[in-house]
Structure 1
Amino acid sequence: MSREKYNFIFIFFLSAAFLFLFSCRKKEKTYVEAIALNDVKLSHPKPGSWRYSHDEKFQQFEDFQKTRKITPEPGKNIIYLQPIGTFNELQTKEIELTKEYLAIYFQLETKVLPALPSTVFPEAVKRNSKEGHEQILAGYVLDSILIKRKPKDAVILMGITEKDLFPQSDWNYIFGLASYENGVGVTSMYRFYNGHLTISNFNESLNRLLKISSHEIGHMFGISHCLNANCVMNGTNSLTETDYHVARACSLCQMKLNSSIKYDNKKRLLELKNYFEKLHFNSELSRATQDLNLVQ
């Protein structure tokens, strides 16, 4: 056999082997495809739950892309938290930890503004709840307090108050409310600790505040209520439902968020893991660890 023919056959078989190995190689999963394995399917809605009483449309990624939404841009990319009311040491600590969490969750700089006094609420927007405590009209907080005070470099301004909120006269209460177009929202801490925050209920209250705050800000970034999996973007009618929902955004909601806020998914996951580990949020730590293991 001539050297030329031998070289040709050798190269032919080498090329064939390379093509065979290349074709057999599994396509590497994207980040979203990988963590989708950790998504937990939604259970059938029960009477009294959000999904049972609200017929909402599933927001596909394509729907999200077409939605008008707020996105960070140079010079307008900071999340601000605006405390409103009188806060004790534990409540102040909860707000600081929420600031830290939101900075990680959204991968955006987050700052806390000096607290505004409760006197910013006029008597006309107050009422007594059925339980006998004071409530504040949530829409007033958005339209007459927050919009006027939104810093120029803010992409989001989220009010946090220790007062209970109600959205309209025929509603008992609301955990939070947001104006998606204006990039302002408000969250009440009141019901997260049943009116009295202590060391024993601190983590439970904080976990609820993290969920509701990230949920409302997620709406401002264009994400609708999630119907894909158990997710922080699920709608909620009660604290029981809020507690059942995880703080983790499902794979679809993470894809939506990352398309608007360009960040390193693995860096975010690692920072979330470290945050949950520091606070001994073991369930959320386990989920973040499982996600990390899938994308390593």
Structure 2
Amino acid sequence: MCPCVMPNKSAESRCMVFYIGKLQKKSSEEKLFYQLAYKSLHKVRLGRKTSAGIPHEGAEEGLFKQYEGDDTDKQQTYIQWRAAMEMDILARLTAGHRTTIYIQPIGTIPASVLNFSLEINNECMPLLDILRCFTEIFFTPKQATVLPAVHISEAGWVIGERTSKLTGEPQLLVRDFYPYLFKRVPRDGVCIMGLSWLDLYPCDKLNFVLGESSCAHKAGVFSFGRFDSRVPQQPSEGVAVDGPMLWQLLKTLTHEVCHLLRLEHCPFFWCTMNASHTVREAMEQPLFLCPVCMRKVQKVCRFSLLERYTNMSTFLKQVNQQCQFVKFMESIEWLEKVMNFLMQTNNPR
């Protein structure tokens, strides 16, 4: 038995299972990784805020910082998520023969954006393939496929539209896309994510949304967001992809796909599944899942934590070399910490 695991019949053990599930079949390093979450949450319950630390010599800060947002009363533990998955027939199918996440471009995207490319793994990847590649790493071993673009008027879609009072730019009503995207999910589709150049709004009362999804339709939509450089009325001119834009696209895409796997917003740690109310808030949040959320996604996808983190580190290093952004650098540094933790746990001195 791992020395950090408490007796199965204890109240502490039952509480740990509630947050992160049973760990008997996990490797020793993955057990300790997930127990970081429980140890930190347990200390918070006792009134001692902390970070989930790295238990090896020289560690000075934790891997996972406690979330301090306003919605910490809304919690979805692993057991609660598992119950939601088991009640949803479509979600259960996700773990079986549904193996592909589809990305559906919507409308006209500027040529300068589509032609933006980076060299990843000795391959010149345009923007949509960069999104596809990262999606495959994040949800490995699921596959990702970019579908041919669909144009709203040509497809006969009826989508709500308005002019933003804040920006003066056109916006599209995100929920109107769901029924149409649902019909375009192939038989092997885990879900489908529409990508719109134009801004999105969720309802009349709210100004905008970077992305939104519907589990009932296995569909979501995300947009390029509110960048000063874009020119919606002249989408073929004057737009350049930079680090912040790419960061936001990667974050919003993976966040919404996690929602389609029945993950709710995370109130436990700073995590890519935290709720956000502004673009700045969304940009500041990490690109990674906390242990509670990771446990859910790993259950669906069944990946090795160390292999997944290694592939993600390789990808982000190549991205940052060609499209530098401080958040990519911070992510690479964090990945080094978590990989060192997993490797040292697996190979103790």
Instruction: After superposition, give the CA deviation of every residue in 1:93-145 in whole Å (9 maximum; x if it has no partner).
Output: 332211111110011100000011242476761111112111111111112x2
**Separation in structure 2 between the aligned mates of residue 254 and residue 193 of structure 1, nearest angstrom:** 34
| Shift of residue 62, structure 1, vs aligned partner | 1.4
1:134 and 2:181 matched: no
Aligned counterpart for 2:243 among listed residues 178, 203, 207: 203
C-alpha contact 2:172 2:199 (8 A) present in aligned 1: yes
Deviation at 1:194, TM superposition (A): 5.5
1:292 aligns with 2:292: no
d(CA) in 1 for partners of 2:158, 2:79: 45
Q: Distance in 2 between matches of 1:191 and 1:95?
A: 19
SS in 2 for 1:225: coil
Q: Closer, same or farther in 2 for the Cα pair 1:116/1:226, shift >3 Å?
A: same
Aligned residue for 1:66, secondary structure, equals: helix
Determine the C-alpha separation between the residues in 1 that align with 2:4 and 2:239.
52
- The one of 78, 82, 97 equivalent to 1:65 is 82
Answer yes or no: is 1:282 the counterpart of 2:329. yes
Q: What's the CA shift for 1:233? A: 0.1
Q: Deviations over 1:62-97 (max 9, x none)?
A: 111111352534432100000001123443233221
Does 1:147 pair with 2:182? yes
Q: Which residue of 88, 102, 113 maps to 1:91?
A: 113
1:186 and 2:218 are equivalent in the alignment: no
Cα contact 1:82–1:112 (8 A) shared by 2 = yes
Cα deviation code 1:149-179 (max 9, x no counterpart): 1111101101011011111111111111111
SS in structure 2 at match of 1:190? coil
State the one-letter code of the partner of 1:133.
Answer: E
Structure 2: gaps of 5 or more residues:
6-27, 38-51, 54-62, 115-125, 232-237, 321-327, 344-349
Give the equivalent residue in structure 1 for 2:123. none
Residue 216 of structure 1 aligns with which residue?
Answer: 256
Would you say 1:115 and 2:149 are equivalent positions?
A: yes
Q: Which residue of 1 aligns with 2:99?
A: 77
Given that 1:137 and 1:168 are in contact with CA atoms closer than 8 Å, whether structure 2 keeps it comes out as yes
Give the CA deviation at 1:273. Answer: 0.4
Query: Paired residue for 1:40?
Result: 65
CA contact (8 A) 2:178 2:217 kept: no
Task: Verify: 1:177 aligned to 2:202, yes or no.
Answer: no
User: Which residue number corresponds to residue 14 of structure 1?
Assistant: none
Residue 283 of structure 2 is matched in structure 1 by 243
Q: Would you say 1:253 and 2:293 are equivalent positions?
A: yes
Q: Which has the higher helix share?
A: 1
Q: 1:224: how far off?
A: 0.8
Residue 182 to residue 148, structure 1, CA distance change in 2 (3 Å): same
TM value normalised by structure 2:
0.70
8 Å contact from structure 1 (residues 121, 136) kept in 2? no
Tell me the SS of whatever aligns to 2:226.
helix
CA contact (8 A) 2:159 2:176 kept: no
CA shift, 1:234, in A, is: 0.2
Partners of 1:192 and 1:239 within 8 A in 2: no
Tell whether the 8 Å contact from 1:101 to 1:275 is kept in structure 2 after alignment.
yes
C-alpha distance in structure 2 between counterparts of 1:250 and 1:55, whole Å = 15
> Of the two, which has the highest radius of gyration?
1
CA contact (8 A) 1:193 1:205 kept: no
- Report the Cα distance in structure 2 between the residues aligned to 1:139 and 1:264, rounded to whole angstroms: 35
1:269–1:90 distance in 2 versus 1, CA, 3 Å: farther
The TM-score normalised by the length of structure 1 is 0.81
In 1, are the aligned partners of 2:263 and 2:296 still within 8 Å (CA)? yes
Q: Residue 135 of structure 1: SS of its match in structure 2? A: strand
Question: Structure 2 CA distance, aligned partners of 1:26 and 1:56?
Answer: 28
Letter in 2 for 1:116: V
3-state secondary structure, aligned to 1:67: helix
Root-mean-square deviation (CA, aligned residues, Å) is: 2.4
Q: Provide the C-alpha distance between the structure 2 equivalents of 1:134 and 1:61, rounded to a whole number of angstroms.
A: 40
1:156 counterpart = 2:191: yes
Measure, in 2, the Cα distance between the counterparts of 1:167 and 1:79.
23
Identity across matched positions, percent: 23
